[in-house]
Structure 1
Amino acid sequence: MIRDPNPAWEGRYPYEPLEAAGIGPESTQTEVEKASFTLMTRRLMNPDTQAAWNELRDLPRRMLADALLYDLDLGDAIAAARERLEREREAAARPPESTEIPDVLPDLLAGFAEDLPPIEMPPAPPTVLPEAAEVFPSRSVFDPLIQFDQ
């Protein structure tokens, strides 16, 4: 059982102070009634545990406290989440239904091209190598110096 993290409960949630006495939502009403003896023998009876014990002895109040708990079957919840995740992964891995490019796309691109002003580009300048490049050693000089691990 998992408790609501923000319960609409005034004061401390009654099961918290009684956990040391082994009292929880699964405890029977008889065990709750006899919890005072356990609390006194363990020297845990104080105003806080007394108030919690009084709240849980009142059956309507205990039922309200239990209504704030969620009974989760984590095994089933995890299995269902895994199945959903697998379905989503498979759906994401599948290619789209249609791989054809819509007929509208070329017309749309042509329309964009007509709206743009023409761009004039001058020819690229010729590449001029510095004189040092001509005296740079050839590849045959470096090949014997480079060795790779086999």
Structure 2
Amino acid sequence: MIKDPESAPDPYDALAEAGVTPWTSHADLRDVPFELLARHLMTPAAQTAWDELRTVRGRLLVDLLRYDVDLAAELPGAVEEIDRELAEPGGGSGEPLSDEAAARLVADLVRFDV
């Protein structure tokens, strides 16, 4: 991946000295501030990086932006897959969700860091 010199620093790069990588478990990530403090590495940049990664929601966003996706190439296949699943028996049948049920589902989906 080519880094844009004018973009914000990658949180994983800022925390590399503490051994943080995209493969670090979320449980292990919770102990990173203690490691940084013990090694006198808790700089403002490290604090900002840890703040970005410490919640599941923030980490998912950082990880999502690490992938290069060609939407023009991926979209037709995704549409075909959705159409195929909806065409299967039971795939698209049934009553539409009420506004309240849809709102509850959306609320459940966006509450990652409980």
Length-normalised TM-score, structure 1: 0.40
Deviation at 1:65, TM superposition (A): 1.4
* Equivalent residue number for residue 37 of structure 1: 34
* Equivalent residue number for residue 17 of structure 2: 20
* Equivalent residue number for residue 43 of structure 2: 46
* Equivalent residue number for residue 61 of structure 1: 58
Extract unaligned runs of 5+ from structure 2. Answer: 68-114
* Equivalent residue number for residue 11 of structure 1: 8
Q: Do the aligned partners of residues 30 and 68 (structure 1) sit closer, same or farther apart at CA in structure 2, a change above 3 Å counting?
A: same
Deviation at 1:10, TM superposition (A): 5.3
Deviation at 1:5, TM superposition (A): 2.0
* Equivalent residue number for residue 147 of structure 1: none
Greater Rg over alpha carbons, structure: 1
When the two chains are superposed, the root-mean-square deviation of aligned CA atoms in Å is: 2.0
Number of aligned pairs?
A: 66
Classify the secondary structure of the residue corresponding to 1:69. coil
Deviation at 1:28, TM superposition (A): 0.6
Deviation at 1:68, TM superposition (A): 3.2
State the AA in 2 paired with 1:33.
Answer: R
Which string of whole-angstrom CA distances, capped at 9 and with x for unpartnered residues, describes residues 106-138 of structure 1?
xxxxxxxxxxxxxxxxxxxxxxxxxxxxxxxxx
Extract unaligned runs of 5+ from structure 1. Answer: 71-150
